[in-house]
Structure 1
Amino acid sequence: MRHGEKWRASWIWGGAEESPRNEWRCFRRSFVAPKGCDAAVLSIAADSRYALYVNGEWGGRGPARSWPEKQSYDTYEVGHLIRAGERNTIAVLVMHFGVSTFYYVRGRGGLLAQMELLSEGRMLQTIVTDGEWRTVRHPGHDPRSPRMSCQQAFAERIDARLGSTEWVSPHYDDAEWERALTIGIAGTAPWTELEPRDIPLLAEESRYPSRIESLRRVEPIAWSTAIDVRSQMDPDSANHCNPVGYVGYLATTIRVKSAAVLTLGFPNATSHLPGVALNGAHIEASAYTGKPPERYVELTLRPGDNFLWLDVTHEADHGRNLQLGMDSAEPFELVSPFGEQIGTSASPFVSVGPFDRVEVIDHRPGRELSKNHEGYLRLRNCPSPSELTEFERWIRQVPKTLVSRDNVFVACIWSRRETRLQVPYELRHAIDSSPAPGVVPLFDEADTEMIVDFGLELSGYLAFDLEASAGTIVDFYGFEYMRDDYRQDTYDLDNTLRYICTEGRQAYISPIRRGMRYVMVTVRGASRPLKLYGLQVRQSHYPVAEIGAFRCSDALLNDIWDISRHTTRLCMEDTFVDCPAYEQVFWVGDSRNEALINYYTFGDTALVKRCLRLVPGSRSQTPLYANQVPSGWSSVIPNWTFFWAQACKEFVDHAGDAEFAVEMWPHIRYTLDHYWLKRDERGLLSIDGWNLLDWAPIDQPNRGVVTHQNAFLCRTLQDVAALARIARDPDGAELYEARAERLREAVVRWLWSDDRQAFADCLREDGSLSDTFSVQTQVVAYLCGIAQKEREAAVRRHIVHPPESFVRIGSPFMAFFYYEALARMGDYGELLADMRRNYGQMVELGATACWEMYPNFAVNRANPEMPTRSHCHAWSAAPGYFLGAYVLGIRPSSSGWEEIVVEPQPVDLLWARGSVPHPAGGRIDVSWRIVAECEMQVRVWTPAGVRANVRLPEGFRGTIERAEF
């Protein structure tokens, strides 16, 4: 929308439901563009996501994530797509989630669009969303596809036989479509404010595979599904992402004509394995086989109906589907335990309960889930259907909408038999640039599976071009890691797409973002060999230039810097995200470190500012601010809020943006004042929340006094006192300085152990010090200036030479703070040694991005073979910052980098060179080389007007050359 123009469009939707679950809806508006039209500006917003086409040409996708009450909209210049004097069509696919996710708060289905047609800047015509638009539910999309994960929306199931892509063309006949329903004018709730996109549209580029990793003949299992038990037990949970505890059962009947052996599988029992009974007999845990989290058990079925009883009681279900598979050599079917399903909307499953239900919010008081209900206890004896009559009021059919038609993830990781084959040379055409296709082999009574390697981690949209017979099923399953005979399957992430082919040549671009390196492609039910002309990922990321650079005499450090930069880019979307595969979530605390890494690799400030501004929107959930935003999960990690406040100060210092300090100061003060109210009688922060810092066995209980949180709050109070002065609030600055000192004194008094000469991890509920001492706690106490004089010396010793009993650093995220401490001490040798040791493991194991956890650290893993959960996680990309800041030695010494210091630290390197972006534009280049023992040659190039204080490292002499760009 042009500056100064007002919204004339209305929000529109279609169908009978305001917020249907997982609905894709097509919208069209055709019009004749006036002659003389030479420009067009189109502004658009949607709930939840849109894909835009103009005259059949790709327009863009969005909108940027936002709180519903401050709905983001995008604006496109589309004049080059408009045909003056001719018929034109705007076509929009709107994907409405109908459930809250970790990156979306449920609103209702809606589309808002306004296009202004211009001639030499003069308005000729305005096209707006209104009742003249046509709409239809996308006929080929399956709304029963399962959730991808508790963090995300839905996986994708497309039947190309039912829905043509021609609907985006201006020549398509939409006369049979319904007229759109007008919801209300711009400003209608829940989208009460509309805010223009404050960052550029994301970049997209095509990335092609590097090789076909494997080819297999696979025999599929008979049946699989995913059941959204959480939504069945608590229908209102669609409005939020808080964990739900519930007590209850699921049941179904397995019908066979003759006696049979059936394998029941729970291929993703990472957090919960239901209790199982068949025909009144419990299945013992010892009967299961399979390597966790995959659990399988053989059941003997009698002829006729077999009653399957599942105890699905869950302490805290975050929204993970119950994934089920069944396989038997004999035909079977599932039917309702109470006769045929009631109506076409009912599945063969019923729920019994819930007999109790609680919503779990970590920062609010709550009661524990009760499993003592008489009905629940009586039904643990595994009744028959006839015995359930007195529990009729507890029994509900599970609707088909909560039971997927299939489970592609299960079908991809569980097969009856598989045979590995050599990859035919001609199959390379499936991934090369040749116009000839790769012909996928066809097997009798079996499917064909091939795994394609893209060569590096990617984040974007799958696209393919193929020729097939109608009804051929092509399953795509993206994952991140395989090595030798080990494939790391994405448990808790259904990263799949099922595409059912129409007849002939066809192409498809998925509108669902995915992260992956490998794609398993499985062809099922083909009547003739499928021809694959091409497979690609439309890599999507925030548009940045590779301004930062680093090279040195150690090739390993160069590789480590490269994967750090690549990780950061992949985790820059419309916000920073933790990982492009599992979550795609803006975690507030992660982004503090990610912002610093970005400053040194890409130099962007707009995305950082956007992220910082989103956080106070969680005030409606909690005055303590949520740890991921915008999100339906109201969860608090106090450190994450503290890191956000620190990041605001760091942004102001980095960009020299005093007005941003003025803007953010009231929001910072608001939440820190609420945290100050959470102190106990000792003056220490004592809080209920997710009191996290590191994936390590440090003592950080979710209730009470945790040392690292108190220390970080102390530092935050110090930092924001300086921010208050920039924001012209000297009284606030004095208040927070005084609070910081009071808190520091309380931490030293109550959390220091004279016996261990160290800070304990926490206080127990009885007021005694924890027995657990960790490097993490000492690092935080040192960085935050808690310990002074003799205590500081002891803390430094524990950081560099920790006692054997101290818990060690457990994640690359915590390593960022560890490296900050080492740099402040001047121990650059240990900083590089740790980097080589831990990140070097990743490189050795083939990493192309930084992993969430260290390969040798087994906490929070599904099995010992699993080297990490996420293989691309920007909280881990610390080398992208520290190699530039300390090996090159480039750091600011004034706000806005008007003055800088260049102080290289060679350690054991012979040379290094590289660049760091300057926030005002341009870059700083540094090159240094050891020319003789203790003699260094340094060259520094800076933007004009930037003052550089160049210092040789202690004990070195040499020459310094300076120049300006």
Structure 2
Amino acid sequence: MKQEQRKWRAEWIGDGGEGGARNEWRCYRREFELPEAAAAAEIAITADARYVLFVNGTLCGRGPVRSWPAEQSYNTHSVGHLLRKGTNTIAVLVISYGLSTFQYILGRGGLLAELEASLAGGGSFAIGTDASWETAQHAGYDRRTPRMSCQLGFSESVDARLSDGGWTTTGGTGAEQWKPARTIGRPGCDPWPKLVPSDIPSLTEEPVWPVRVESLKRVRPVSWTTALDIRNAMLPDSVGHANPVAFAGYVAFVVRASEAADATFGFLGGFGAFRGFGLNGQRFKTSEMEGQLPERYARIRLRQGDNFVWLETLGSEHGMGLHFGIDCDVPFEIVSPIAGAGVDGESPFALIGPFATRTYVDYQEQEQSSPLDDYKGFGGNKELDAGAFEGFDAYARVRDAASADDLRSLEDWIRPFPLELVATDSVFGKSVWKRSEESRPVPMELQAVCMAGPLPATVPAYPDGDTEFVLDFGKEWSGYIRFELDAPEGAMLDFYGYEYMRDGWRQDTYILDNTLRYASKEGWQKYESPVRRGLRYLMVTVRNASRPVRLIGVQIVQSNFPVAEIGRFHSSDPLLNDIWEISKHTTRLCMEDTFVDCPAYEQTFWVGDSRNEALVNYYVFGASDIVKRCLELVPGSSVQTPLFADQVPSGWSSVIPNWTFFWANACLEYAEHTGDREFARRIWPQVRFTLEHYLRKIDERGLLRHRGWNLLDWAPIDQPRDGIVTHQNAVFVGALRSAAKLAKLAGEADRGIPFAEASETLAQAINAFLWSEERQAYLDCIHADGRSSDIFSIQTQAVVYLNGIAEGTRKERLAAYLVEPPREFVQIGSPFMAFFYYEALAALGRYDIMLDDMRKHFGQMIEYEATTCWEMYPNFVENRPNPNMLTRSHCHAWSAAPGYFLGACVLGVRKETDGWSRVRVAPQPGDLKWARGAVPLPSGGRIDVAWRMEDEAGSRVFRLDVRAPEGVEVDLVAPDGYEPRMRLIRG
């Protein structure tokens, strides 16, 4: 990362508390007098965790970019055009998560900002955060909303009646209760010892309108819903990390019914530790309930008065809450089973336990075994018994409890469930579970909501029901929901974003609460969400409207790393053209302040994914800064593990060795792509550091053994958590070779020699111990007990071939497997793995097989109207818990391989020297008749290619035109068997 460059005048400020409050939306503001207009001005700003910056009421910045607390990033925003002579206002909304996510490590909450302006008449003006600023908790945001997912922060519920945004403007303080801000410390104070300027530009903000109203329904909601953060209730200290935890315990409450009635209990989210519930002494296991996982429903009979309920939680959880609800025709209330509790703003729920807890760290150096690991819910298969944990007898007695009185003997285990961990409502629950729904034709007047014009769309209103309509944005997008409407006071608009629907079936996001609730004030109003979301479809449900609601528009403010679409591809095959387009769009959506895996579920920078994403980006957009930023973020995880984490910066201390190895490869590829020797010198010590630690894990046979997450592909290959995994050893060979080459680029070739030698030694060990003479293939693994795997996969053969480990007849055998994969081998399960398969096919020269594979697998996506690339192939049972479900994420940049290979292979553009000073253009037509396109150059400009196959007087002619900038040497190569007609054009 860059070193600190700024001499700060400002101080960190907060609200005077300890900071880092859970799901807090805090306002800061400062009015000031400017003696004359500004010629130029900028605000340098950072916050813990996230900020939205306003100057005189105009939103002009978001941030900060993700970073490690030890090197806190700050952004700089130009604001001179927003300042005026006289009174001005800087206002900042700071969002504090109060827990660690996959993008953020828990800090303490706070704001640091300063304005520097050059005045039009000369002179300067400066102001920074200090005790003269005001602060207030935002009056409109509900802090009791559920987590969006274990990877992200919180969903959003805002009440415009309580705060209308007036606090961001001069003279308007809104309804907030303001007080002086408190100084936390000077820049350099804990937990932010170093401040580092962002090394990338601000992300784009491009309004995107929906293309159609897809459906319209009259719906009736279920009676009551909520969501419980059981993880943080069971393990309060878990807010400090995002590692998986496991626990055994219960949540109890009483349903007080006005009269006896039938009711339905619904459990709706992806909370994996839920095992069932009890009602008045009767037990309902999840396996016995109705519905398809993860939805579960139980039809029950409530008696008049009190009905005692317990929810059993046993198992592992990463951070999702339990969304559930009750639907009933008679009035009821939820009350506490603890005598005297649950009143005066207290929670109506009780926590029983935890009777046992377990926290997991995903790498060998810190993972400690536990007797619990043998039991169900904690990773084993053994049924719980008295030896599982102290308090098992009390745990078992809860299952027999038929009333709150039966809990009296368990007083030591019972306490109120914290109210802040109980959602006021579950918008997700009400969006996916309705008492009734009736489809209605979409009137043309409502389609006006999709039109970029002043004509408002009136939302139909129905007696005794709510109005639900679904907007289709035509493609997946990633950004911020924005809307403008005229509504009565108290109307409720629930927004729910999702990625996929087909023939009336909707793929609900059970492990993602992708919702926003907006309660309106009276009249015309605007709102723009500060929470990033990914979606194609947006369900909008209008509730409690006393008069019709009119919408001028609902938009997604598309936000991504600013890139130009320099790369192009067009060919005689329309299917391949469509495949290239979805690869491009996918990669763009997954370029935020780092590469991310997906814009919806996670928005996480996965280190291994980004290697492939960087290559696609090189050929489509040509951006280099984002790649360097990603590569330089990774070593910051050394505070968690010397093996480097698989997603950064993150509260989940997780390692996938292959992801670190792919990072080492990507460091070399970036240095070669850009010719940046200074980068090689800076990053080489970090590559050396982590690979040296991996070499310490080589066993007596000379093979790498790792206990942890040994992943390569989402497929049933044999990649156990403990053992010697062949694909991992093969990828390690390649990473060691990359390290040796990187050392040479860094000017330390001698220090790279041990890595080159280690790679050859490891390759020899792979050939000695991981080859099956009987099957004439490399086995998937050797298990921890010494047992050789009986599973053989294409994945293993592909990476062994790709990393140059097999020789002679073994190499020939692997080549035959790649050309015609044996049916008995495990087949490729994800487009991510297809990237390495295509690399191997390219090394074999079998471009025809590559194109056919693209047509088959990516063509299937096009058949299902995909606008982005799926995370998985729907080939395996593991990938299809529902027959309609084709993949989890419908937009995943690790899957965008065609964006690279169609440019590198079909157009045939590849670098011959570092920095692309010399380029080779050798198209591989396959069965195509013609193709044309462009590939960006890292120093600017591009290579334009157009080729065509022709028959001319009985000869097969290959016409190739290439346009390249001056100063770039270009070698033109025609395919074998064709008469070349080639031209190099400059300019």
Q: Confirm or deny that 1:219 pairs with 2:220.
A: yes
How far did 1:941 drift? 1.0
Query: What residue number does 1:749 align with?
Result: 768
Aligned-residue identity in percent:
53
Contact 2:718-2:791 within 8 A present in 1 as well:
yes
Cα distance, 1:34 vs. partner?
2.5
C-alpha distance in structure 1 between counterparts of 2:668 and 2:683, whole Å? 10
CA contact (8 A) 2:874 2:880 kept: no
2:810 — aligned with what? 791
Which shifted more, 274-283 or 661-670?
274-283
- Whether the aligned pair in 1 keeps the contact of 2:274 and 2:312 (CA below 8 Å) is no
SS at match of 1:662: helix
Residue from 669, 682, 686 that aligns with 1:667: 686
Instruction: Report the equivalent of 1:957.
Output: 979
Equivalent residue runs for 1:293-372 within 5 Å: 293-314=294-315, 316-342=316-342, 344-363=344-363, 364-369=367-372, 371=384, 372=388
For residues 728-755 of structure 1, the C-alpha deviation after alignment (integer angstroms, 9 at most, x for no partner) is 2223211011101110111111100001
- Structure 2 counterpart of 1:480, which letter? E
Q: Which residue of 1 aligns with 2:550?
A: 531
Q: What TM-score results when the alignment is normalised by the length of structure 1?
A: 0.98
Aligned mates of 1:547, 1:758 — CA distance in 2: 42
Contact (CA 8 Å) 1:282, 1:382: kept in 2 or not? no
Q: CA deviation at 1:381?
A: 2.5
C-alpha change, 1:270 and 1:887, in structure 2 (3 Å) is farther
CA 1:300 to 1:343, structure 2 compared with 1: closer, same or farther past 3 Å? Answer: closer
1:639 maps to a residue whose letter is N
Cross-structure match for 1:939: 961
Letter in 2 for 1:728: G
2:141 is the alignment partner of 1:138: no
Q: Tell me which residue corresponds to 1:77.
A: 78
Structure 1 residues 121 and 353, CA, compared in 2 at 3 Å: closer, same or farther? farther
Equivalent residue, structure 2, for 1:882: 901
**Hey, what's the Cα distance between the residues in 2 that align with 1:161 and 1:436?**
25
Matched-pair contact (CA < 8 Å) for 1:11–1:186:
yes
Residues 122/94 of structure 1: CA separation in 2 closer, same or farther (3 Å cut): same
Partner of residue 150, structure 1: 150
Name the SS for the 2:580 alignment partner. helix
Q: Counterparts in 2 of 1:106-505, with a 5 A limit?
A: 106-119=106-119, 124-173=124-173, 177-269=178-270, 271-285=272-286, 287-314=288-315, 316-342=316-342, 344-363=344-363, 364-369=367-372, 371=384, 372=388, 373-382=392-401, 384-505=403-524
**Offset at 1:31?**
0.6
- AA at the equivalent of 1:138: H
Report the CA distance between 1:311 and its aligned residue.
1.1
Which whole-Å CA distance do the structure 1 matches of 2:177 and 2:947 have between them? 71
CA deviation profile, 1:294-342 (whole Å, cap 9, x unmatched): 110011111111110111112x210111111110011111000023535
Kept after mapping to 2: 8 A contact 1:255/1:332: yes
Q: Over residues 109-128 of structure 1, what are the superposed CA-to-partner deviations in whole Å (9 max), with x where a residue is unaligned?
A: 10000111223796522201
Q: SS in structure 2 opposite 1:167?
A: helix
| 1:906 corresponds to 2:925 | yes
SS in 1 for 2:854: helix
- The answer to whether the 8 A contact 2:119-2:125 is kept is no
**1:42 touches 1:113 (CA, 8 Å); kept in 2?**
yes
Structure 1's unaligned 5+ residue stretches are none
The offset of 1:766, in angstroms, is 3.2
Q: Counterparts of 1:270 and 1:244 in 2: how far apart (Å)? A: 12
Greater shift in the superposed pair: 714-723 or 284-293: 284-293
Please give the alpha-carbon distance, in whole angstroms, between the structure 1 residues aligned to 2:895 and 2:419: 41
Greater shift in the superposed pair: 296-305 or 361-370: 361-370
Q: Distance in 2 between matches of 1:692 and 1:281?
A: 42
2-structure distance, mates of 1:81, 1:602: 32
Q: Which amino acid aligns with 2:370?
A: R
Whole-angstrom distance in 1 between the partners of 2:402 and 2:652: 37
Q: Is the 8 A contact 2:273 2:314 kept in 1?
A: no
Give the secondary-structure state (helix, strand or coil) at the position aligned to 1:781: helix
Aligned residues of 1:269 and 1:295 also touching (Cα < 8 A): no
Aligned to 2:381: none
CA distance in 1, matches of 2:195, 2:737: 36
Q: Does 1:544 find its partner at 2:547? A: no
- State the one-letter code of the partner of 1:740: S
Change (3 A) 1:122 1:627: farther
Instruction: Identify if the C-alpha distance between structure 1 residues 77 and 284 changes in structure 2 by more than 3 Å, giving closer, same or farther.
Output: closer
Letter of the 1:429 partner, please give it. A
Aligned-partner Cα distance in 2 for 1:22–1:535: 26
Structure 1 residue 4: deviation in Å? 6.1
CA distance in 2, matches of 1:339, 1:497: 35
TM-score, reference length from structure 2 = 0.96
Distance 1:749 1:562, change over 3 A: same
Structure 1 residue matching 2:205: 3-state secondary structure: strand
1:434: how far off? 3.6
Q: Secondary structure at 1:705's aligned position in 2?
A: strand
> Residue 34 of structure 1 contacts residue 124 of structure 1 at CA under 8 Å; is this kept in 2?
no
Contact persistence 1:33–1:117 (CA under 8 A): no
Q: Shift in Å at residue 3 of structure 1?
A: 10
Change (3 A) 1:31 1:141: same
Q: Distance in 2 between matches of 1:335 and 1:38?
A: 62
User: Which residue in 2 is equivalent to 1:581?
Assistant: 600
Alpha-carbon distance between aligned partners in 1 of 2:787 and 2:371, rounded to the nearest angstrom: 26
Paired amino acid for 1:321: G
Amino acid at match of 2:928: L
Conservation of the 8 A alpha-carbon contact between 1:281 and 1:382: no
In the alignment, which residue of structure 1 is the partner of 2:35? Answer: 34
Rounded Cα–Cα distance in structure 2 between residues aligned with 1:185 and 1:741: 52
Q: Which moved more, 1:745-754 or 1:14-23?
A: 14-23
Q: Is the 8 A contact 1:216 1:420 kept in 2?
A: yes
In the TM superposition, what is the alpha-carbon distance from 1:276 to its structure 2 partner?
A: 1.1
Residues 17/345 of structure 1: CA separation in 2 closer, same or farther (3 Å cut):
farther
For residues 368 and 919 of structure 2, what CA distance do their matches in structure 1 show?
A: 49
Q: How many residues align?
A: 963
Go from structure 1 to structure 2 and tell me whether the alpha carbon gap of 1:176 and 1:738 turns closer, same or farther (over 3 Å shift).
Answer: closer
In the alignment, structure 1 residue 623 sits paired with structure 2 residue 626: no
Residue 866 of structure 2 aligns with an amino acid whose one-letter code is: A
Unaligned 5+ runs, structure 2: 376-383
Counterpart of 2:644 in 1: which secondary structure?
A: coil
> How far apart are residue 236 of structure 1 and its match?
0.5
1:583-602 counterparts in 2 under 5 A?
Answer: 583-602=602-621
Q: SS at the partner of 1:274?
A: strand
Kindly provide the amino acid, as one letter, of the partner of residue 389 in structure 1. Answer: R
Aligned mates of 1:629, 1:348 — CA distance in 2: 38
The letter for the 2-side match of 1:673 is: E
- Deviation of 1:345 after TM superposition, in Å, equals 4.6
Take 2:464 and 2:612, find their aligned partners in 1: how far apart are those partners? 52
1:383-428 superposed Cα distances (whole Å, 9 cap, x missing partner): 5322322322211111121010100111011111110000111111
- On the 8 A contact 1:215/1:448 being kept in 2, the answer is yes
User: RMSD value over aligned CA atoms?
Assistant: 1.6
Amino acid at match of 1:34: P
Give the distance between the partners of 1:15 and 1:301, measured in 2 at CA: 48
Partner deviation per Cα, 1:31-81 (whole Å, 9 max, x = no partner): 101236422221000111111111112211111000111110011221111
CA distance in 2, matches of 1:375, 1:947: 78
Distance in 1 separating the partners of 2:596 and 2:210: 24
Task: Single out whichever of 142-151 and 933-942 deviates more from structure 2.
Answer: 933-942
Is 1:657 matched up with 2:676? yes
Between the aligned partners of 1:395 and 1:905, the Cα distance in structure 2 is: 69
Residue 176 of structure 1 deviates from its aligned partner by 5.4
Amino acid at match of 1:939: D
